[in-house]
C-alpha cells in the first residue's frame, strides 16, 4: 500500500508539473497602446452593435471595462435601458472602447478579451462577465486566467480565444475607438453620444428614456402617401 501511495503521489506531482509547464510555455499576452491604426482595423466595424438598424435613435457608448462608473451603469442601468429602449426598437446601441490607460492598467486587456469573444459571437455575454466581476480582476494579477474563465463560461472556444489574445490582433481597433472618442470630445467614461450631443457620466435609465423620447417626438413626421 505504501508503494501504491508513493506512485499515486508521484503521478499527482507530475500532473501538476505538466499543467504548470503548459501554462508557462504560453506566450505572454500584452495589448499595446497608441498603436498606428490602419484601414484593416476599422474596415466594416463601427463598434459592437445591438438593436434594430431601423431604430429612430442611435446611442454610442464610449466605455472602459475597468471604469467603476461604467460597471455601475452596466450592472444597474443597462438591463432597464435594454428592455425599455433597445428591445422596443427605439434605440440602436453601439458600444465603443475608450480605455483610460493612466488609471486603468488592464482596460485594453479587457477590451481585447471582449473583442476575441466577439469573434465567436459572444461579445455581449463577455461584456456582462467583465463588468459583473470587475472587482475580481481590476486589481492584482492573473487577469488572463480570469478572462479565460469568463470566455469559457460564456461558451467560447477557449483555445481559439487564447490564440486571438496572444495575437493582439484587435489592438488597432481598440485604439481607433479611443481616437474617435477623443476627436468628438469624449473625456471620461462612460460618455454617451446621442443625436450629436455628448452626455458624460452614468445616466440613469429614466433620464436616458426621456432624452430618447424627446428626440423621437421632435423629429419631423413623414408625409402621408398620396
Of 161, 178, 158, 157, nearest in space to 169 by CA? 161
Query: Average pLDDT of the chain?
Result: 90
Query: What's the confidence (pLDDT) of residue 21?
Result: 37
Q: pLDDT of 151-201, one tens digit each?
A: 999 999 999 999 999 999 999 999 999 999 999 999 999 999 999 999 999
Q: What are phi and psi of 214, to 5 degrees?
A: -65, -35
Tell me: pLDDT of 13 over 50: no
User: At 136, is the pLDDT very low, low, confident or very high (cuts 50, 70, 90)?
Assistant: very high
Q: What are phi and psi of 115, to 5 degrees?
A: -65, -40
Q: Give me the count of residues in the chain.
A: 226
Query: What's the confidence (pLDDT) of residue 76?
Result: 97
Q: What is the pTM of this model?
A: 0.85
What's 226's DSSP letter? -
Tell me: pLDDT of 29 over 90: no
Segments making up each domain of the chain, as ranges: 33-217
What's 48's DSSP letter? E
Query: What's the confidence (pLDDT) of residue 4?
Result: 46
Q: What are phi and psi of 118, to 5 degrees?
A: -65, -30
Could you tell me if 150 and 113 are in contact, meaning their C-beta atoms sit under 8 angstroms apart? Answer: yes
Q: How far apart are CA 156 and CA 173, in angstroms?
A: 21
Locate 209 and state its grid cell.
Answer: 428614456
Locate 32 and state its grid cell.
Answer: 499595446
Could you tell me if 134 and 65 are in contact, meaning their C-beta atoms sit under 8 angstroms apart? Answer: yes
Query: What's the confidence (pLDDT) of residue 102?
Result: 87
Beta-carbon count within 10 A of 200 CB = 15
Superfamily of domain 33-217: Glutaredoxin (3.40.30.10)
Sole residue written with cell 492584482: 140
Q: pLDDT of 32-89, one tens digit each?
A: 998 999 999 999 999 999 999 999 999 999 999 999 999 999 999 999 999 999 999 9
Greatest pairwise CA separation for the chain in angstroms? 95
Q: Where are the alpha helices (DSSP H) in 76-199?
A: 78-81, 107-118, 123-132, 134-137, 143-153, 158-167, 171-184
User: At 119, is the pLDDT very low, low, confident or very high (cuts 50, 70, 90)?
Assistant: very high
Query: What's the confidence (pLDDT) of residue 223?
Result: 57
Amino acid at each position: 500500500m505504501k508503494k501504491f501511495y508513493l506512485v499515486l503521489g508521484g503521478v499527482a506531482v507530475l500532473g501538476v508539473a505538466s499543467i504548470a509547464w503548459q501554462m508557462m510555455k504560453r506566450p505572454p499576452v500584452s495589448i499595446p497602446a497608441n498603436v498606428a491604426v490602419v484601414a484593416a482595423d476599422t474596415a466594416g466595424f463601427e463598434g459592437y452593435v445591438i438593436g434594430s438598424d431601423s431604430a429612430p435613435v442611435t446611442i454610442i457608448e464610449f466605455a472602459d471595462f475597468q471604469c467603476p462608473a461604467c460597471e455601475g451603469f452596466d450592472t444597474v442601468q443597462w438591463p432597464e435601458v435594454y428592455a425599455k429602449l433597445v428591445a422596443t426598437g427605439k434605440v440602436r446601441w453601439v458600444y465603443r472602447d475608450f480605455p483610460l490607460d493612466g488609471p486603468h492598467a488592464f482596460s485594453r486587456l479587457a477590451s481585447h478579451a471582449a473583442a476575441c469573444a466577439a469573434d465567436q459571437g459572444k461579445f455581449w455575454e463577455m461584456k456582462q462577465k467583465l463588468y459583473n466581476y470587475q472587482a475580481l480582476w481590476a486589481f492584482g494579477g492573473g487577469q488572463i486566467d480570469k478572462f479565460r474563465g469568463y470566455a469559457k463560461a460564456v461558451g467560447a472556444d477557449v483555445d481559439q480565444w487564447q490564440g486571438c489574445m496572444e495575437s493582439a490582433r484587435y489592438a488597432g481597433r481598440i485604439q481607433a475607438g479611443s481616437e474617435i472618442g477623443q476627436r468628438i470630445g469624449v473625456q471620461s467614461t462612460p460618455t454617451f453620444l446621442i443625436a450629436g450631443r455628448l452626455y458624460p457620466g452614468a445616466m440613469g435609465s429614466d433620464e436616458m428614456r426621456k432624452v430618447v423620447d424627446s428626440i423621437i417626438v421632435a423629429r419631423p413626421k413623414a408625409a402621408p402617401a398620396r
